[in-house]
Amino acid sequence: MKILICGKGGCGKSSVTALLAGELEKRGYKVIVVDNDESNFGLHSQLGMGLPKDFALHFGGKRMVAEKLLASKKGGRFSVFREGLRASDIPKDYMSKKGGISLLAIGKIRDFGEGCACPFNALSADFLRMLTLSKDEFALVDTDAGIEHFGRGVEAGCDLLLMVIDPSRESIRLAEKVNKIAENVSKPLYYVLNKTDEETARVLLDSVDQSKVISVIPADKKVFRNCLVGEALDFELKGIRELADFLESWENE
């Protein structure tokens, strides 16, 4: 099952991704985490891993990714991967690994004036569309802030969209937008409320489509502290267990 994790900047996408990866691993799944955020460098630390080499380098870097994708166009579709691509086909040099969790980073913007991240999103869209998973594998795709990646089709290869909502007006507004996008692209959408307390959870539940809320994660000192000092989020949280329960039952439906 491939899950796209989205939401506004700082709402907790990467934290939820790392905690969920750990929870699914504990339940015996193999997890491939796809870092689709070209600007931020936090996810590998949250997973307790080193930063992997950009996958885009495997194709010769960002510009070559665009050229190779265009050159590969066949019958209206383009792909630099073969049908039935498996996670195990990815060269080991481009993966960080810890136990049953692997991390693949599509590409990072490192220099001022380097240009846009469109080729990274196109590569990511192609990769996720072609990636074939078995029953015991999950792919978690951690995205950049906002909705730019939707316009590039990154969601097309995913089975389910998970939006992380923090207690802010921007998140509530964005939830409506993402809801419309999900309808347009015919993908199931669910919400995770994050960084809440009793009062803010109530306000959020009154402000978004409650039937889509599958987990509520309180503001947690340990999450905040570990992110601050760059330590792994390798502990359990009730809200994350509930999230994993939901995904497991959804997968088995």
36 binds Mg ion (CB under 5 A): no
What's the closest the beta carbon of residue 38 comes to ligand ADP, in angstroms?
Answer: 13
| Cβ within 8 Å of residue 242, ≥6 positions away | 214, 215, 216
Which among ligand ADP, Mg ion, none contacts residue 146 (Cβ within 5 to 8 A by kind)? none
* Sole binder of ligand ADP in the list 12, 22, 157, 167 (CB under 6 A): 12
Q: Are 81 and 72 in contact (CB under 8 A)?
A: no
Which among Mg ion, ligand ADP, none contacts residue 44 (Cβ within 5 to 8 A by kind)? none
Name the helix (H) or strand (E) containing 43: helix 43-46
Question: Tokens in use for 183?
Answer: 């309808």
Interface positions, 180-199, toward ligand ADP (CB under 6 A): 194-195
Instruction: Tell me the site size for ligand ADP, rule CB under 6 A.
Output: 17
Interface positions, 27-56, toward ligand ADP (CB under 6 A): 42
What's the closest the beta carbon of residue 8 comes to ligand ADP, in angstroms?
Answer: 7
Q: Are 17 and 5 in contact (CB under 8 A)?
A: yes
Interface positions, 211-230, toward ligand ADP (CB under 6 A): 217, 219-220, 223-224, 227
Question: Tokens in use for 97?
Answer: 């690994």
Compute the residue count for the chain: 253
Chain CA centroid to CA 43, Å = 10
Name the residue nearer to Mg ion (CB basis): 13 or 152.
13
Cα–Cα distance for residue pair 158/2, rounded to 1 Å: 5
* Sole binder of ligand ADP in the list 4, 14, 138, 163 (CB under 6 A): 14
What's the closest the beta carbon of residue 239 comes to ligand ADP, in angstroms?
Answer: 8
Residue 174 carries which side chain, given as an amino acid letter?
L
Name the helix (H) or strand (E) containing 213: strand 213-218
Which among Mg ion, ligand ADP, none contacts residue 196 (Cβ within 5 to 8 A by kind)? none
Q: How many angstroms separate the most distant Cα atoms in the chain?
A: 54
What's the closest the beta carbon of residue 222 comes to ligand ADP, in angstroms?
Answer: 8
14 binds Mg ion (CB under 5 A): yes
Cα–Cα distance for residue pair 160/3, rounded to 1 Å: 5
Residues in contact with ligand ADP by the rule CB under 6 A: 7, 9-15, 42, 194-195, 217, 219-220, 223-224, 227
Residues in contact with Mg ion by the rule CB under 5 A: 13-14, 40
